[in-house]
């Protein structure tokens, strides 16, 4: 073969090999960068979702304390209502601050679930601010709050690609607080943690 042709073919082979190496390396680096960025944003979304959930859950717990004090639930110990409503207002301010991060980083379906959950908590507060709130109305709203909480967590888990399976279903039996009977005083009784009939993980 002509030496010049041989040399040209060698040069072409080297150039093609270099080009192929460049393409493979560039593609690998882009994939690695995208994975790193995805992991980074997943971490930020996880933090945003968890901080928002904690803020809303704090509001729910305050609502529960107020409901117990007003005799809508028979578990727990009474609290000062004025202080509790003031704390609820502060908790709402904290929730609103966390909400902005969820709006920035969250997936649309998770954002919608988060909004539905918090709006339901506002309904709890509206019931509690009535002069004579109805116990059954509060319990129905409280149960719906728990359902919406689970929906938020389910959406967030899908968003974060958590594949360990669905959340355990929250049944009404496990959530239903004991209603005070008509013969019992409306002031909630004091209970201890041992043997208490307080539902678990009701925030």
In the prediction, which pLDDT does 26 show?
65
In the prediction, which pLDDT does 41 show?
77
In the prediction, which pLDDT does 199 show?
43
Q: pLDDT at residue 12 above 80?
A: no
pLDDT tens-place string over residues 90-149: 999 999 999 999 999 999 999 999 999 999 999 999 999 999 999 999 999 999 999 999
Cα–Cα distance, 197 to 159 (Å, whole number): 35
Q: How crowded is residue 113: how many other Cβ atoms within 10 Å of its Cβ?
A: 22
pLDDT tens-place string over residues 16-75: 777 777 677 766 666 664 665 555 678 999 999 999 999 999 999 999 999 999 989 877
Cα–Cα distance, 174 to 189 (Å, whole number): 20
DSSP-derived letter for residue 71 is T
pLDDT tens-place string over residues 137-196: 999 999 999 999 999 999 999 999 888 877 777 654 544 444 444 344 444 444 333 333
pTM of the model: 0.68
For the record, the structure tokens of 104 come out as: 């920035």
Number of continuous H segments (helices) and E segments (strands) in the chain:
5, 0
In the prediction, which pLDDT does 170 show?
62
Cβ atoms of 186 and 68 within 8 Å: the answer is no
In the prediction, which pLDDT does 113 show?
97
In the prediction, which pLDDT does 175 show?
43
Residue from 140, 143, 138 nearest 171 by CA: 143
Q: Which CATH architecture has domain 41-161?
A: Up-down Bundle (1.20)
Q: What residue ranges do the domains of the chain occupy?
A: 41-161
């Amino acid at each position: 073969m002509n030496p010049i042709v041989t040399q040209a073919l060698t040069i072409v082979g080297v150039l093609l090999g270099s080009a192929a190496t460049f393409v493979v390396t560039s593609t690998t680096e882009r994939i690695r960068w995208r994975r790193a960025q995805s992991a980074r944003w997943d971490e930020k979304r996880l933090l945003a979702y968890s901080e928002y959930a904690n803020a809303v859950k704090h509001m729910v717990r305050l609502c529960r304390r107020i409901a117990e004090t007003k005799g809508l639930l028979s578990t727990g110990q009474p609290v000062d209502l004025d202080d509790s409503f003031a704390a609820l207002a502060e908790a709402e301010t904290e929730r609103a601050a966390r909400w902005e991060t969820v709006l920035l980083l969250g997936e649309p379906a998770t954002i919608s679930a988060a909004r539905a959950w918090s709006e339901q908590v506002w309904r709890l507060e509206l019931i509690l601010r009535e002069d004579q709130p109805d116990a059954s109305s509060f319990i129905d709203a409280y149960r719906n709050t728990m359902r919406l909480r689970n929906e938020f967590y389910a959406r967030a888990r899908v968003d974060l690609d958590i594949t360990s399976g669905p959340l355990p279903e929250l049944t009404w039996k496990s959530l239903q607080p004991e209603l005070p009977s008509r013969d019992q005083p409306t002031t909630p009784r004091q209970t201890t943690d041992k043997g208490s009939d307080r539902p678990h993980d009701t925030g």
